[in-house]
Every structure is written in structure tokens, then in C-alpha cells.
Amino acid sequence: MGILATENREGARVGWLERIAERMMLKARAEGNLAGLEGEGKPLPDRPIKTDATAAGFRIMAQAGVLPQEIVLKKQVIAAQARLTDLPEGPERAALLAEIARLQMRQAIAEEARRRFMRD
């Protein structure tokens, strides 16, 4: 195994960053800094986020009360799709379909920009 990775008690490989994070959590628990937090004793919410860096970035923005552009656009798409169900065929429906396509394109661009930023 090398200097950068070791095994934890369960035998899984753990890198240096995970070891530091684990030590910091154990220290915070020992000092009582984790007691009384919102959601204590409950399972973590299911958040479909692919990478640790993305999760950390989204968590920081959520704590600051800021939504990433891709999430704002996703909510706008969902709202527009809900309005679409009530519209009969016609020019208003066509305009709303065009708006949904535009929002989805902007959402895809924002998601791709984040992915590229995280890679570089």
C-alpha cells in the first residue's frame, strides 16, 4: 500500500484526505461539537451527487442560502412542465414547449460548465 493510502478497520483503502477528515470528526465528537446539530440521530438525506467536491460545493452554497444556477434552472423546468399539462394544443403550448427547451439547454450548459470546472 503506499504512503498515500492505508486500510481502515474494515479493511477498505483509505486515502490521506479521508484519514484527516476522520480525525477531525472524531476530535469534534470528543469535544462535543457534533451534539445537538439539526438532524442528529437521523440518516443523511439522499442526495444524488456524483463527486465529493461537488457535494462539498453544493453543501457550502446551501448553507449560505444560495442555489447553483443549474438547480434554479431545473426548478424552472419542472414548474414549466407542470404548467404544460393544463394547456391545450395551440400557440401558447408551443411557446411554453420552446421555453422548456430553452431552459433545459441552459441547465445542460450550466451542468457541463460545473463538470468542466471540477475537472480542471
Q: Give the mean pLDDT per block of 10 residues along the chain (120 residues).
A: 51 70 82 78 66 71 79 92 90 94 94 78
Query: What is the pLDDT, as a whole number, of residue 8?
Result: 52
Specify the residue for cell string 475537472: 119
CB 93 within 8 A of CB 87: yes
Say which residues have a Cβ less than 8 Å from residue 76's Cβ, sequence separation at least 6.
103
Nearest Cα to Cα of residue 70 among 83, 52, 57: 57
Query: What is the pLDDT, as a whole number, of residue 1?
Result: 43
- From residue 29, how far is each of 25, 32, 36, 84, 93 by CA, in Å? 6, 5, 11, 50, 55
Query: What is the pLDDT, as a whole number, of residue 57?
Result: 72
Measure the N-to-C terminal CA separation of the chain; round to a whole number of Å: 28
Domain definitions of the chain by residue range: 1-42, 46-120
DSSP string, 9-65: TTS-EEEHHHHHHHHHHHHHHHTTTTTT-TTTTSPPP----S-HHHHHHHHHHHHTT
